[in-house]
Amino acid sequence: MSLQIPYIGTVKSRFAEPANPGIMREEQSVIEIFEDYADGLFKIELSDYLEVYFHFDKAASYDLQTYTYTGDYKGVFATRSPRRPSQIGSTLVKLIERRGNTLVVQGLDALDGTPVLDIKPMHIPLTEEEVAGAEIHSRKNNPRKQVFSDIWANRTDRLMLDAARMHGHFCPGLALGVMMATRAMQLMRSNSDGLEDLLAITETNNCITDGIQYVTGCSFGNNGLIFKDIGKTAFTLARRDGKGYRIASRADAIEYMRQASPLFSESYQKVVAENDRSEEVVVKFKVTGIEKAFATLALDFDKLFTVEEVTVKIPAYAPVHESIVCDKCGEPVMASRIIHQNESNLCMPCAGHRTAELIGHGISIETNPNSAKE
């Protein structure tokens, strides 16, 4: 069975090529209705919102399962993919104005020249609470939806604004981490749900790693982050099968960045290298840091980094251990960290055991084992 549907008009849009639907929906476009159907627009301006049906005429074929723009892998009927058996697209748009047989609309994610099949009015009585509720519902289902959408649209400025909520300040390191992670995520085309199926292996413990944790979703807390104490501006993003990409700083990247903004290097030297925390110096560091961080995002990625396809060894999923209560301090401890001493179960500090710790200097062995209790 098949159905013949007449075209009733055409879309005029600034998008001639496929683009991120989120970005397309922010723009206005025009629907031109053919003369033969123009009378059908009578009183359409009484509707604020319209459902527009159109023909994905550039989609040659279909896929029954596909990746969505938010990084999920789903069946075609669970997505809005243009590659579908019917080749019919539909979007809810806001009617800005009608000019004769043309409609100016906002929110239409159809390419320039797309044939229009039908238009229907839509009444949306959404209250503010309903809008907020829908937003919370959507975030509960996919907490990283906005992050992935920003990654896909390469909106590194927005990603850095959000990453700074965790990092606390803007600096070129955060910018570099955001840039590296965004590129790696785009190459991998997969999102992280924080369940160790995507892993970030970072080779440095500094500002860069916060950009990497935020953008990749692979963090210290969800065991998606592996830290190799090598001291290189480099990181690898890999899937469980070990396949992934390593992005590393070029040898002349520091010089390239220094030339791009000499002012920041000066205050960085004072605050970070010489620990000068006087108010005037710190304020200058923060101001130039903001400028330099955003300027860094605009630098040429290929002059800063190398990108290499790699296969790496991935550790097994993190084990879950039962807790055992320390006989001395009474605090519960992961079973794998219990020390058996003179027939009692002790935590490492109570047993006087030295522990490995990740501090600003890197991974080291604690020098004074009782320091944690003092």
Site of interaction with Zn ion (CB under 5 A): 171, 173-174, 207, 326, 328-329, 347, 350
Confirm if 198 and 190 have CB atoms less than 8 A apart: yes
Query: E strands along the chain, which residues?
Result: 9-12, 28-33, 49-55, 65-67, 73-75, 88-99, 102-106, 115-122, 198-202, 225-227, 234-239, 243-249, 305-311, 323-325, 332-334, 339-341, 344-346, 356-359, 362-365
The amino acid at residue 27 is: E
Query: Nearer Cβ to Zn ion, position 114 or 182?
Result: 182
CB of 154 to Zn ion, least distance (A): 22
Instruction: State the number of CA atoms in the 13 A half-sphere of 277 facing the CB.
Output: 1
Query: Nearer Cβ to Zn ion, position 21 or 173?
Result: 173
CB of 371 to Zn ion, least distance (A): 14
- Measured CA to CA in angstroms, residue 134 lies from 1, 128, 140, 220, 370 at distances of 37, 10, 10, 30, 51
CB of 293 to Zn ion, least distance (A): 8
* 3-state SS, residue 223: coil
Query: Nearer Cβ to Zn ion, position 238 or 326?
Result: 326
Nearest by Cα to 284 from 265, 302, 300, 306: 265
CB of 170 to Zn ion, least distance (A): 7
Query: Nearer Cβ to Zn ion, position 220 or 317?
Result: 220
CB of 325 to Zn ion, least distance (A): 9
Instruction: State the number of CA atoms in the 13 A half-sphere of 89 facing the CB.
Output: 23
Query: Nearer Cβ to Zn ion, position 101 or 206?
Result: 206
- Which residue in the block uniquely carries the two structure tokens 């390239």? 256
Query: Nearer Cβ to Zn ion, position 145 or 328?
Result: 328
CB atoms within 10 A of CB 132: 11
CB of 149 to Zn ion, least distance (A): 25
Query: Nearer Cβ to Zn ion, position 150 or 210?
Result: 210
Confirm if 346 and 327 have CB atoms less than 8 A apart: yes
Burial, 189: exposed, middle or buried (Cβ in 10 Å; 0-12, 13-18, 19+)?
exposed
CB of 162 to Zn ion, least distance (A): 15
CB of 177 to Zn ion, least distance (A): 9
Taking the C-alpha atoms of residue 3 and residue 177, their distance in angstroms, rounded to an integer, is: 52
Query: Nearer Cβ to Zn ion, position 7 or 294?
Result: 294
